[in-house]
Amino acid sequence: MAALRVAVIGGGPGGLYAAALLKRLDPEREITLWERNAPDDTFGFGVVLSDETLGGIEHADPVVYAALQAEFVRWDDIDIVYRGRRHTSGGHGFAALGRRTLLRVLHERCRDLGVELRFRTEAPPAQELAASYDLVVAADGVRSATRTAHADVFGPRIEEHRCRYIWLAADFALDAFRFEIAETEHGVMQLHGYPYESGGRGGSSTVIVEMREEVWRAAGFDTLDPAESVERCAKVFADALGGRPLRSNNSTWTTFRTVVNDRWSHGSCVLIGDAAHTAHFSIGSGTKLAVEDALALAACVEEQPTLPEALAAYEAERRPVVTSTQRAAHASLRWFEELDRYVDQPPRQFAFNLLTRSRRVTHDNLRLRDAEFTRKAEEEFGCPPGTPPMFTPFRLRELELRNRVVVSPMDMYSAEDGMPGDFHLVHLGARALGGAGLVMTEMVCVSPEGRITPGCAGLWTPEQGSAWRRIVDFVHDRAPGTAFGLQLGHSGRKGSTKLMWEGIDDPLDEGNWPLVAPSPLPYRPGVSQVPKELSAAELTAIRRQFTDAARRGDAAGFDLLELHCAHGYLLSSFLSPLTNRRTDGYGGSLENRLRFPLEVFDAVREVWPEGRPMTVRLSATDWAEGGTTAEDAVRIARAFAAHGADAVDVSTGQVVADERPAYGRSYQTPYAERIRSEAGVPVIAVGAISSWDDVNSLILAGRTDLCALARPHLYDPHWTLHAAAEQGYVGPGVEWPAPYRAGSRRPQTGRTDAPKPRLHLN
């Protein structure tokens, strides 16, 4: 690629480092950077960089790395101060320096390399620069004018969040990354603090004070001038500051904005750093992401034969990393937004919850960093010595589960006329032998018309009850200690479809049966069958179908019964305002929409043995505008708990075809956590929980009581046994079946440590 003329808009770390790298890789390039502020103007204090980012800097530009290395403050500890107690977790490895120092190093490097820096100068619009420059790098921040001017191409989505925060500094060096929680008469406030300079008269620390908008207003911060705000913050956190004052640098209270763009380039213009994406400061990734963007952009421009290919390669490389970071940052942001939900946790569990809030630090990871801290958190939780949290027992009525792992209900579409057969015996029996505390059936349908597909299992005949009895007996006889649960449901408007692998949610080509629902609304307009609106008499009949099936489940010997009120099936479609448009007593308000599902629950609970638990599976959000919200889900869960539900199995979505889920690791867990906290009922978390480390982390943090896993148990029927073996756990929480004990240790493999050659001969 011929020498480029490059324009850089914005003199923050990302823009400066991109300019320096592009110039260093090809000194023939003409590079000009515009920054509207003065060289020393900066509105933050300290900057935290990870070892990974520093490694990239060292490899790309040893001169910059050496200059930064000389300035870094390093520390390992995180202090969490909560209700007068400080818990310290070590082994985390931070490096920070002053933002002014970072900018000075980058200014000097740019000048040494020959980059033209134009301070106190507003950059021309990107479109104008593109007429005379080959590449325009827009590093103009979270309120990027470039992004705004070309919003039709970049497709920005900007979300304002619920907390107010302010960046301040203290003239002494904290000895750890400090989180301090203040419970005031106005609400909960939090401090995030870390050192960034160790010299001078004791060094300097960044201090961020954050609180919910309503707390900020109740405390009167909205009426204070800047100096009064700073003084008030210092008083609230006087203990953390040792009575010292805080200082400001034209700091103002603001709300965090999450920026996501559909595209990062437009012609020869490319977005980097906060112009392209933002990540909440609580995981310290803003500067890190910007610097890594600069590294990737410079490398791609160097490696690719043309500029369009370079910009495409840059986005392909960076987008997955940024998406993952933003997902973690959003989890962290939400944790602090909802801090008042956690303040009544035991102090060490609260600390563990805070440390693992983004899901990037996990139970196993934290155990490696600070084994003693993790051991004490386990001890406080009630784990016997050497027992991972997932292998602690949990009681529901008279049923004690030996561990916290649930084999989630998974439709197998392998029954004939509703009859479970040898496939179900082998499938469910294998998972029961695999060590989970609770194995759930697929959704077992209460009538032929209540099936999803012709392959769905049922419990509407005595013969089906006998077939289930055979499977239950196998589980109880051959996998003692494993509980077996029955999930009952009715497909509603989502029935009469093909087997999943033949076309998910596609209507049958022939042999369709009529569908029923609260309202005559098809699942997929123009594709799905239009269901009949249920009459009062038909509601009574369906209620009886559920109780008849429950009685057969009792006779079959199931240990637990779950009522399926999720995923858009019949009972779920009564709950959602998107699928229930009735004008009688079963529609309208949430209380009315709850009426029929609660009637079914009450009827089933009446015939289900008193000592055996009943749970309810809910979709905690419809992932669609106007549908069930997280707030609604809490109210729904409270209602079922008041009627005797022993736990809520918290799923999401699949209620309407045009949903827009936000997938990701453990993505449904926050809904379970909220229901557990606000409704005061035990919960089962489900959804992209894939590792035993995830299960231990969620349990120990108090985010859930049980974890249900589906796909991992398809991949490995003995997932729980293997989790025990990999953690070196032997105890009552899991037991290898006698015929399998010889396989309780990982098989040996061939050597991979062959001697390396001593000489290389040409």
Cα torsion 372, 375, 381, 385 to 10°: value is -150
Dist. CA 468–CA 425, nearest whole Å? 9
Dist. CA 24–CA 614, nearest whole Å? 67
Which residue, chain included where needed, has tokens 């009850």?
465
Q: Which phi and psi angles does 259 have, rounded to 5°?
A: -110, 125
Angle between helices 13-25 and 286-303 (to 10 degrees): 20
C-alpha distance across the termini of the chain, in Å: 34
**Beta-bridge mates of residue 211:** 164, 189
Name the region of 89 (left: φ>0; alpha: ψ -120 to 50; beta: rest): beta
The half-sphere exposure of 236 on its side-chain side, counting CA atoms within 13 A, is 26
368 burial (CB, 10 Å; 0-12 / 13-18 / 19+) is exposed
Q: Are 325 and 285 in contact (CB under 8 A)?
A: yes
Cα torsion 650, 654, 659, 662 to 10°: value is 40
Collapsing DSSP states into helix, strand and coil, what is residue 78? strand
The half-sphere exposure of 28 on its side-chain side, counting CA atoms within 13 A, is 5
Cα torsion 230, 233, 234, 237 to 10°: value is -160
Q: Are 248 and 231 in contact (CB under 8 A)?
A: no
Catalytic residues: 569
H helix count then E strand count, the chain: 26, 28
Dist. CA 686–CA 669, nearest whole Å? 7
SS (H, E, C) 115-183: CEEEECCCCCCHHHHHCCCCEEEECCCCCCHHHHHCHHHHCEEEEEEEEEEEEEEECCCCCCEEEEEEE
Which of 459, 428, 464, 429 shows the shortest CA–CA distance to 444?
459
Dist. CA 503–CA 179, nearest whole Å? 51
Cα torsion 311, 312, 314, 319 to 10°: value is 130
Give the distance, in angstroms, between the CA of residue 534 and the centroid of all CA atoms in the same chain: 38
